[in-house]
Amino acid sequence: MARMSHATRLGVSLPATLVNEFDVVWRNMQYTNRSKAVHDAIRNFISDYEWMQSEAEELMGAIVLLYYLEKPGLLTGIMKIQHEFETVVSSTMHIHLTKDKCLEIIGVRGNAGDIKSLSQKLMARKGVKQLKFAAMIP
């Protein structure tokens, strides 16, 4: 079993509402402390980055995008980006969560580099709150 050589203390500033939500979630998931939950969240963040560095030639999967309509032109921008990547976008599903919050699921299949570029362009849009990619390598 691998041992950590040492722990490093990390200080971050977060909105109180985000910390409160995080505290509820890690307790509901039955973590024994916040540090372990933060550790796992950071590990997942790193894993998400690593798939983007993968060398697989072809991927398939789904991009799940959460965004708020508060930014003018956001929907048009998201749709324009999808059209730029029409060779990998297979389908989309748009779900209205609230009056100003939407979830979009984008089915993708094709060149890994193109899917990575698509994901990065979508993540960079102001108004996009969260993006997750579930990758499958055929």
Size (the chain), residues: 138
CB 68 within 8 A of CB 100: yes
Banded pLDDT at 46 (limits 50, 70, 90): confident
Banded pLDDT at 3 (limits 50, 70, 90): low
Banded pLDDT at 56 (limits 50, 70, 90): low
Query: Could you confirm whether domain 56-136 is CATH 3.30.70.1150?
Result: yes
**Structure-model confidence comparison of residues 115 and 1, the more confident one:** 115
- For the ranges 22-31, 73-82, 104-113, 127-136, which has the lowest average pLDDT? 127-136
Q: First-to-last CA distance in the chain?
A: 32
Cα angle 51, 52, 54; round to 5: 60
* Residue in the block written with tokens 């748009």: 94
Pull the structure tokens for residue 5. 């050589």
Cα angle 53, 58, 62; round to 5: 80
Task: Please enumerate in sequence order all residues whose Cβ is within 8 A of that of 63, keeping only pairs 6 or more positions apart, or say none.
Answer: 105, 106, 108, 115, 118, 119, 122, 131, 132, 133
